[in-house]
């Protein structure tokens, strides 16, 4: 049996897109510079050459037009995959996504589906300029009718890309851009778990840390550091941001008694607040301490020189664990 190849997350997404296009001729890719250039991060490199410009389409700089066109294509039986070049550029398409794409199936009482996939590189720590390092996931998660997933490793990136494309609902994939070069084994024969479920990626007994996307490696590093102090920390990769798999989180917290939720987005109004509220309601008598949140500050994303102070790091997760254990 051949060993699973090691791929970066970027190459895993590329391989997932390629397989989806091979299996279904109605899968189309759309986006700025995704064809001849292969995308800013080269995620779509080689796909236009192999599938042609009629299936890998370079679009004008107009995100509202990209998504609006994709809605029309989906209504005609295609499965368009849109790339939004950077997270901050998703806002011009916000109206199309939240008022059209998210509502169409409900508006028709389920008679019409719009299987559009939207890929959005998100998060910071890439030393970029304004509008290129955002974490807007909570804005979209607030809108019913959208499914939202975010891989943290190459195996998930490969399979979740394909699972999103085959889903009958519109799916937004938030791809952690600072992890595009993170390598991992990809088993192309073994499908990943249901993309809308969370996964325990490190078992533990004393506390639970929930993270997703770019912060999962940081949470794992914090758990390893906590182990040196004799603390056993369980780490859950949320994977799906809408719907959220509260059952997996609740099961863990009922065993550990403590929960820290960490994400790169600002704490204020972030998904950590929703998780904290739900788990407090569902597992109140199992908690040994309040649910604590770790996130960025409620400020516009700063210049590259100080972004490391803005984005949560290992020390901030460990500090939250210390506060939890102090109760």
What residues are annotated to the active site?
132
With contact defined as beta carbons under 8 Å apart, do 312 and 296 qualify?
Answer: yes
């Amino acid at each position: 049996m051949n060993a699973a190849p090691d791929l970066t997350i970027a190459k895993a997404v590329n391989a997932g897109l390629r397989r989806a296009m091979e299996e279904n001729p109605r899968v189309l890719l759309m986006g700025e510079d995704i064809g001849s250039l292969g995308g800013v991060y080269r995620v779509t490199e080689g796909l236009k050459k192999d599938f042609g410009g009629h299936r890998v389409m370079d679009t004008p700089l107009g995100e509202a037009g990209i998504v609006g066109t994709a809605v029309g294509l989906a209504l005609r039986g295609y499965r368009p995959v849109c790339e939004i070049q950077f997270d901050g550029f998703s806002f011009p398409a916000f109206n199309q996504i939240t008022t059209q794409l998210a509502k169409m199936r409900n508006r028709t009482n389920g008679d019409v589906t719009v299987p559009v996939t939207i890929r959005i590189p998100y998060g910071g720590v890439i030393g970029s300029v304004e509008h290129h390092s955002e974490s807007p996931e909570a804005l979209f998660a607030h809108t019913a009718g959208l499914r939202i997933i975010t891989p943290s490793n190459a195996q998930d990136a490969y399979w979740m890309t394909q699972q999103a494309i085959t889903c009958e609902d519109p799916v937004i994939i938030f791809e952690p851009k600072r992890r595009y070069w993170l390598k991992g084994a990809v088993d192309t024969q073994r499908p990943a778990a249901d993309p809308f479920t969370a996964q325990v990626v490190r078992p533990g007994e004393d506390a639970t840390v929930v993270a997703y996307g770019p912060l999962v490696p940081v949470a794992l590093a914090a758990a390893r550091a906590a182990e040196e102090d004799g603390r056993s920390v369980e780490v859950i990769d949320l994977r799906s941001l809408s719907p959220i798999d509260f059952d997996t989180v609740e099961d863990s917290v009922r065993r550990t008694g403590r929960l820290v939720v960490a994400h790169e987005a600002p704490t204020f109004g972030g998904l950590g607040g929703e998780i904290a509220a739900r788990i407090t309601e569902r597992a109140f008598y199992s908690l040994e301490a309040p649910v604590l949140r770790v996130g960025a500050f409620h400020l516009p994303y700063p210049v590259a020189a100080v972004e490391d102070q803005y984005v949560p790091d290992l020390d901030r997760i460990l500090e939250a664990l210390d506060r939890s254990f102090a109760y």
